[in-house]
Amino acid sequence: MRIRCLSVSCAVLALAALTAHAAERVTLRNGYDLVCDHRAADGNKVRLFLDSGDANFIEVDPSDIASTQAFQPPAPQTPLQSPTQTPTQTPIQTKTATLRQQDLRQLLARAGSEHDLDVDLLASVVRAESGGNPHAVSRTGARGLMQLMPGTAARLGVRDSFAADQNIGGGAAYLDAMLKRYHDNLALALAAYNAGPAAVDRWHGVPPYRETRTYVARVIHEFNKRYAARQRAGTAATQIASTR
């Protein structure tokens, strides 16, 4: 799978030298890069903050940072607010979900295999979009597990957004397209999934919309957590097998 965890190793470095308070473009050793407003040391980790506040951040190991460069974001020309149409909003309609976790996992694995996406990345998007409810509907009309707008669903060939297999297939295809568009930059692809590629292109990075920046941080944090748990489980299984 081409999408890997943003935090992949642990090293003890002089963290004081890694603390900064200016916007910069950070390139990670796994190939991803993102723009952060500021960063700060937290124990043996570094937090990369996506805005001027302290709530939205991505936590990485110091050794994961390959390079940094100063970044001057474009001056805003309009009030900083969410776009009028976004693919995702907090779902407000919550009919009883009937999809079992095991079935959901199988659908995510199938879509991940088809589009070469990590199943835990897709699971993280589903959690952020709908909380796993296949009948979720947002205030703007986005539907299903991966919150597809009707127009987007139609372009993706999704006939029934409440059919879990179709919705996940369409959402995975759209996320795949955004990753290709932004050369596997996960933060930009997620921002485009949430706010649309036009907003990402306009701002030359993650748009300064609170909802979008919160969304990107939430998905990446969830993905890191799931990936780390999977790695620990794999290590434990290997250790058990070696003792037999």
Q: Are 119 and 109 in contact (CB under 8 A)?
A: yes
Whose CA is closest to 110, among 195, 194, 168, 189?
Answer: 168
**68, β-bridge pairs:** 26
129 part of the active site = yes
Instruction: Give the Cα separation of 224 and 197 in Å (integer).
Output: 24
Question: 7: Cβ–Cβ under 8 A, 6 or more apart, which residues?
Answer: 45, 59, 60, 61, 64, 224, 228
Report residue 69: phi and psi, to 5°: -150, 150
Beta strands of 94-225 (E only): which ranges?
137-138
What tokens appear for 172 in the block?
């995975």
Question: 43: Cβ–Cβ under 8 A, 6 or more apart, which residues?
Answer: none
- Please identify which of the residues 59, 129, 211, 222 carries the catalytic annotation: 129
Which residue bears the tokens 């509907």?
A: 137
Q: What is the DSSP letter of 89?
A: -
The residues carrying an active-site annotation are: 129
